[in-house]
Structure 1
Amino acid sequence: MNKKSTIQRIKLQRLDSLELFSASNSNKSFPLHYHETFCVSVIEKGAFIENSKTALQNSLLISNPLEIHKNSAFQNLDYSIKTLYISKDIFKFALGKNKVNNDFLLQNLITNNFLFDKFNQLSNQIIDSKNSFDSDFETNFIKFIEKIGQFKSNKKNTSNTTEPTWLENTKQYLKTNLAQKISLETLANQTKLDKFQFIRAFKKQVGLTPFQYILLSRISLTKQLLQEGNSITETALDAGFYDQSNFANYFKNYVGVTPRNYQQSFNILQD
C-alpha cells in the first residue's frame, strides 16, 4: 500500500445505534461472514469485491441482513470505503412496516449520483460532528433511507425461512455456551447425527460450517464487550477464546484491526 491505511468506527446512540465504518487505503480481505443489519457502503477509491460482484469507485454496495458474503480487494489494489450499518427497524420507520417485511431485500449494487452524494454528506457529518448534529440530520437521513428503499431487489429472501427444530436448538445452545469449549461431537449428539452428517446438514441450512458460525458468534460478542469498555483479556475469555494470540488473529481477520485498535477507534456519540 502506498499510503498509510486508516480505520475509524463511530456508533451513535440515536437512530437505533447507527454505526459508521470508514477505511482508507486498505487492501484487506474478509472471510465469509454476515451482519444483523443492512450494510450500505460507498466505494471512494479503487474497487471492492463482494462474492461475485465488483463495486467500482463512486458506486454503492449493499449487504442485506444475514446475507453471507466475503470481501476482497480488486487485484490486491488499495481501496477506500465507508459503510453505514443500518437496522431493519430504521427501514420500517422510514418506509412503513407493511413494506419492510421478512422478504424485503435491497439490490446489492446501485449506481446513483444522488444517493452517493447524500451518503457522503451524511457520513462526513457523522465524522465531523463531535457529539453535535445539525437539526436536519435525522430528516435528511430518513430521506436517504426512503430513496434507497426504492431499489428493492427481486431476489427471494431465503434467510427468514423456517428453521428445523434441531437447528434452532443448536443455535440456542451455542448462544448460551459461547464462553465454554464446544465440541462438534456434543453438538452432533444433540441432533442424533454423527459428526460429519451434522457438519453437512448445518452448512446446508446456514451456509457456514459450525466452526465458522461459532467463530462469527464469538467475534460479534467480543465487539460488543470491547465497545462496553471491557478489557481485552476478559473479553476473550468471556467469548470462549482461551488463547490470546488466536483471539487477536481471528479478530483482525474478520474485523480488519486488532482488538486494541478496534476499542481505541470506536467512538460512541451521545445525543
Structure 2
Amino acid sequence: MNAEHIRLWRDSDLSDGMELLRAVCCSHRYPAHSHDEFVIAAFEGGAQRHSIEKHTGVAIPGTVMIIQPGQVHTGEAAKDVGQWAYRAFYPQPQVLEAVAADVFDAPATGLDLGRAALHDNPLLARQLTLAHGVIETSPDPLERQSAMLEAFAALIRRYGQCARGRTLREAPAADVRRAQDLIQSCFDERLSISQVASAVGLSEYHFMRSFRRQTGMTVHAYITQVRLQAAKDRLAKGMSAAQTAISVGFFDQSHFTNRFRASFGVTPGRFAEACR
C-alpha cells in the first residue's frame, strides 16, 4: 500500500512568510479551490490529474505547474498510477513581480507568466525541487532566501513577460568590496540577503548576480567560507566544536560539522586534535 505524506508550512524568513508544501498523495483529492497567491509546483513522481479553470491535464515527473492567483483548480492521482509526488511554492504576486523587476528592464508590475498552466521542463523542475529542498532543510535563512530568489528568477526568465517587453536586464556594477567588508565584520550574526544587498545599494537579486559575477562565489558560499576560516582559528585555540559553531554564526553543531567536513575533508574534532 502506498504511503501518503503531506507537509504544509510557512517560512517567516522568506518574503511575506511564504507557504510551501511537499506531498506524496495517494487517496487524497483536492476539491475545487483557489489561492490568493501563485502556485508554483514541480512534480517528482507518479502522475496527477487536475483541472485548472475547467482545463484538464496530467502532470508527470519533470513538469512544472503555474497556477495564477484566483484560478480554480482540483488535483488527484491519475487512476492508472495511484499516487503523485510534488513540491509547491505559494508566493504572493508582489514577490514574483519584485524578482521580475530585477530580471527584466521593467517596473515591478505587469508580470505575465503566460496562459499555459503545465510545462514539460525537467531542468527547471529539478532546479525548483532542489531549491525547495534547501528551503525545507537549511537552518540558515540567507541560504533559504538565496535558493528562493534563484529559483523564481529561473522560472521568470523562462516563462515571464512584462508589460514593457521581455528584455533581459544587465545588473549594474556593484561595490562588492563593501559587501565583503560587512560580511567580514558581521559573519557571526544572523545575516539576510536584503541586509547585505542594502550595503551596496542594490536589490536582492541584482546583488546576488553581481556578487557571483565579480567573486565567482554565491553570497552564501562566501559567508560560509568566512565562517569556516574563523572556526578553524577558534578550534586551533582550544574552543569546543559546539561553542565554535555558535560563535561563528552556524545554527547548530550538526550543520557546522557537515559544512566543515565538506570543505576540509575532516570533522572539526579531528582538525582540533591535529592542531599543536
TM-score norm. by structure 1 comes to 0.50
Q: Which has the higher contact order (CA 8 A, sep 6+)?
A: 1
TM-score scaled by length of structure 2: 0.49
- Greater Rg by CA: 2
